[in-house]
Amino acid sequence: MASPGGQGAGALSTRGGSAARRMKWALELSLGNTRSRSERQGGQGDVIYPIGYSEKPVPDTSIQETDKNLVEKRCWDVALGPLKQIPMNLFIMYMSGNTISIFPIMMVCMMAWRPIQALMSMSATFKLLESSSQQWLQGLVYLIGNLLGSALAIYKCQSMGLLPTHSSDWLAFIEPPQRMEIMGGGMVL
Q: Could you say whether residue 181 binds another protein (CB under 8 A)?
A: yes
The reply on whether position 101 binds another protein by CB under 8 A is no
For residue 79, the minimal CB distance to another protein (Å) is 39
- Torsion on CA atoms 39, 40, 46, 50, rounded to nearest 10: 80
Q: Which amino acid is at 148?
A: L
CA distances from 111 to 34, 123, 156, 169, 175 (A): 33, 21, 9, 24, 36
Q: How many CA atoms lie within 13 A of 158 on its CB side?
A: 7
User: What is the x/- site pattern for another protein, positions 102-141, by CB under 8 A?
Assistant: ----------------------------------------
Is residue 56 a contact residue for another protein (CB under 8 A)? no
Minimum Å gap between C-beta 4 and another protein is 9
Binding site for another protein (CB under 8 A): 161, 166-169, 171-172, 174-189
